[in-house]
């Protein structure tokens, strides 16, 4: 692989690849995010470790996507797939990878370094204040004890030292992880909020409490005690900000991004220039506060893979927005007991499909013979029926081999082989798609039988997850097969067209430095352009001084083609070659008149090829 130049170093991942998927260049960030160190391959899909990224990039190559988001090591990353063309031909593909959290941070903090230094300065001042005060007291009492021992002095000094130690312990709890970490668990967020609110019953007598829980059964994953303590602190701060009364509004809802919670008060608010300092140790707006509560809140939420965002207006109130990851849980079982072990279920499903491959292949062929006899006729003609009876249905096989782990590269390789084979044998692509879709139905019949006959059952969530997964495997195979089929046909068409182009411009030398170009058949813009390119090249190679272009075999030429024709004449003239045009029909002459094309000394015209040859013969004799 080519090493990335200095210009490729950037705070985002960048990979440059050729249209065939080979890696041309990459920067360090791109390599670190995507590539395995265990592979020396220069092919993109051989190097990528993450199967989800492989699948999404494959969809980009298929033209189904241009951007997508994938989580890498708990961080959401935005992928941008950009194609660069030269003329009408795809030249390069660039993949840009951005860490969305970093982008958001850059957007929200344009003067990040200034804010960071300011925060560090204020935190240092807070540490100095909170630790210096008790140590000063200890020093004073120790000096008094030198003069006369007093037990009260000793107790006060002990208390002040405990205060300093507690301050440092609070700082340590925010700045580094605990030695003993509570184990993550799943719990109902709304139930925990209700239990916390019960602790504040005495403070709620002059507060209007508004709760709006859209999904009160939402389950999240995290360290329960840490999150409860953080929620306790947020509600406590909200109530303290409304000493004269107000409204506490707690809202919760769930979407595909997670479980969302907002805690809003109508209290004194926070000045905009202080918002950026929230969560910084020792920053507080309370007269007797230490500034450790919110620091621990931020640490707890972010340490449990959550997100926290604050908005506030002075005199109007403050809102804390929290987002938590949803827990994968099962409810609403369908028929029978809930699935205990989905991995075990998938393992047995894969084995079931493997053991019954021949049976369901025969069932599929019987279905085709009964309902789509025209397909089986085509399959017999292309000897595909015998192959399927011997090796099994390829769609059932690919699902069986990928049900436990998605192997994108292997699916694409298999689809490439089958797609190229179908293209070479001229098996119609629309019939291949019919075969694939009919096989999809057989697979789901097999999956249905497995769950009816086994001890496993699926919850609604598990069923739809399995449905998406299996259909994604099938769609990946179908898309790859279609893409490679079309690619083979396009390459074949390109080769044929290049051959036709070569044969359609026969520059024939008929005498020394004299050539003839007979143009036969219909001429469209593409062909006219190719004729021009080939003619100029051959005239230069042959060092021709006279070229006869005979268009008597062209039945019709439109206006754009006539323009190309006269561009050929001008180009030939620049090469020092004179042109004689023969075989102009009345229709072509009429088109030339409509275009205002005038015949000058650069171009001679003759009625037919014989007359042009006689003129050239007389010219040579005269010389």
pLDDT digits (tens, 9 = 90+) for 454-507: 777 777 777 888 888 888 888 888 888 888 888 888 777 777 666 666 656 678
Helix (H) or strand (E) holding 60: helix 51-61
The per-residue pLDDT for 601 is 64
User: 92-102 in b/e burial notation, b at 16+ Cβ within 10 A?
Assistant: ebebbbbbeee
Strand partners, 48: 35
- Domains annotated for the chain, with CATH where assigned, are 6-108 (3.30.450.20), 112-175 (1.10.287.130), 185-324 (3.30.565.10), 342-499 (1.10.490.10), 504-622 (3.30.750.24)
Cα–Cα–Cα angle for 386, 387, 393, rounded to 5 degrees? 115
CA atoms of 213 and 261, how far apart (whole Å): 9
The per-residue pLDDT for 266 is 92
CA atoms of 513 and 543, how far apart (whole Å): 6
Please give the C-alpha separations between residue 568 and each of 516, 529, 549, 561, in angstroms, as whole numbers: 14, 9, 10, 11
pLDDT digits (tens, 9 = 90+) for 41-54: 788 888 888 888 88
The per-residue pLDDT for 354 is 87
Global pTM exceeds 0.85: no
- Identify whether the C-beta of residue 331 lies closer than 8 Å to the C-beta of residue 315: no
For residues 145 and 195, the model is more confident at: 195
- Identify whether the C-beta of residue 258 lies closer than 8 Å to the C-beta of residue 324: yes
- Identify whether the C-beta of residue 485 lies closer than 8 Å to the C-beta of residue 420: yes
pLDDT digits (tens, 9 = 90+) for 245-304: 899 999 999 887 789 999 999 998 888 777 766 766 555 666 555 556 777 788 788 878
pLDDT digits (tens, 9 = 90+) for 88-134: 778 889 898 888 777 665 555 444 444 444 444 455 555 555 555 66
The per-residue pLDDT for 384 is 80
Give 284's DSSP letter.
Answer: -
State yes or no: pLDDT of 8 exceeds 90.
Answer: no
Cα–Cα–Cα angle for 541, 542, 544, rounded to 5 degrees? 125
Weakest-pLDDT range from 43-52, 207-216, 221-230, 332-341:
332-341
Please give the C-alpha separations between residue 544 and each of 145, 530, 541, 617, in angstroms, as whole numbers: 117, 19, 8, 15
CA atoms of 356 and 348, how far apart (whole Å): 12
Mean pLDDT computed over 440-455: 85
The per-residue pLDDT for 303 is 79
Mean pLDDT computed over 431-449: 87
State yes or no: pLDDT of 3 exceeds 70.
Answer: no
Give 493-541 as a DSSP string: HHHHHHHHHHHT---EEEETTEEEEEEES---HHHHHHHHHHHHHHHHH
Helices (H), 247-356: 272-275, 293-303, 342-355
Strands 75-86, 89-99: pairing kind: antiparallel
State yes or no: pLDDT of 226 exceeds 80.
Answer: yes
The per-residue pLDDT for 452 is 81
For residues 15 and 563, the model is more confident at: 15
């Amino acid at each position: 692989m080519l090493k990335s130049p200095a210009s490729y170093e950037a705070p985002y991942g960048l990979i440059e690849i050729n249209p065939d998927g080979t890696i041309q260049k990459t920067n360090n960030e791109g390599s670190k995010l995507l590539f395995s160190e265990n592979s020396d391959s220069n092919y993109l899909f051989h190097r990528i470790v993450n199967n989800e990224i492989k699948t999404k990039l494959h969809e980009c190559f298929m033209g189904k996507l241009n951007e997508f988001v994938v989580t890498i090591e708990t961080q959401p990353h935005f992928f941008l797939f950009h194609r660069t063309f030269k003329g009408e031909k795809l030249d390069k593909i660039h993949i840009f990878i951005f860490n969305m959290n970093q982008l958001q941070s850059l957007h929200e903090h344009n003067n990040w370094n200034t804010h960071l230094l300011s925060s560090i300065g204020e935190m240092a001042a807070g540490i100095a204040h909170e630790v210096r005060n008790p140590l000063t007291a200890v020093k004073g009492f120790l000096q008094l004890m030198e003069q006369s021992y007093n037990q009260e002095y000793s107790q006060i000094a002990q208390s002040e030292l405990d205060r300093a130690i507690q301050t440092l312990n609070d700082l340590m709890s925010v700045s580094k992880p605990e030695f003993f970490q509570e184990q993550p668990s799943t719990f109902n967020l709304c139930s925990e909020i209700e239990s916390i609110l019960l602790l504040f019953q005495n403070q709620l007598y002059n507060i209007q409490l508004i709760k709006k829980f859209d999904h009160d059964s939402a389950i999240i994953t995290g360290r329960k005690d840490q999150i409860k303590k953080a929620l306790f602190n947020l509600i406590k701060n909200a109530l303290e900000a409304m000493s004269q009364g107000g409204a506490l509004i707690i809202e919760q809802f769930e979407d595909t991004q997670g479980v969302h919670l907002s805690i809003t008060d109508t209290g004194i608010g926070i000045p905009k220039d202080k918002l950026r300092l929230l969560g910084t140790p020792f920053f507080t707006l309370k007269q007797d506060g230490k500034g450790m509560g919110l620091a621990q809140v931020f640490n707890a939420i972010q340490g449990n893979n959550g997100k926290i965002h604050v908005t506030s207006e002075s005199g109007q109130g403050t809102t804390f927005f929290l987002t938590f990851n949803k827990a994968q849980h099962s409810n609403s079982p369908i028929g029978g007991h809930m699935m205990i072990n989905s991995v075990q279920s998938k393992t047995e499903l894969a084995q079931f499909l493997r053991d019954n491959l021949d049976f369901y292949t025969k069932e599929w062929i019987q279905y085709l013979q009964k309902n789509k006899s025209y397909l089986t006729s085509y399959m017999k003609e292309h000897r595909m029926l015998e192959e399927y009876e011997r090796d099994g249905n390829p769609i059932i096989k690919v699902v069986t081999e990928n049900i436990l782990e998605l192997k994108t590269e292997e699916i694409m390789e298999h689809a490439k082989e089958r797609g190229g084979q179908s293209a070479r044998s001229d098996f119609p692509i629309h019939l291949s798609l019919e075969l694939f879709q009919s096989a999809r139905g057989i697979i789901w019949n097999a999956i249905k039988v497995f769950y009816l006959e086994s001890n496993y059952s699926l919850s609604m969530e598990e069923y739809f997850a399995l449905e998406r997964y299996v259909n994604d495997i099938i769609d990946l195979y179908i898309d790859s097969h279609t893409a490679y089929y079309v690619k083979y046909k396009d390459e074949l068409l390109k080769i044929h067209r290049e051959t036709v182009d070569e044969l359609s411009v026969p520059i024939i030398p008929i005498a020394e430095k004299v050539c003839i170009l007979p143009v036969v058949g219909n001429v469209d813009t593409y062909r006219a352009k190719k004729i021009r390119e080939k003619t100029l090249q051959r005239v230069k190679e042959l060092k021709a001084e006279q070229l006869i272009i005979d268009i008597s075999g062209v039945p019709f030429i439109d206006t754009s083609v006539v323009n190309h024709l006269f561009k050929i004449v001008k180009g030939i003239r620049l090469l020092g070659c004179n042109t004689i045009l023969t075989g102009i029909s009345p229709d072509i002459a009429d088109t030339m008149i409509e275009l205002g094309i005038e015949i000058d000394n650069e171009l001679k015209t003759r009625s037919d090829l014989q007359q042009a040859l006689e003129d050239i013969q007389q010219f040579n004799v005269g010389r």
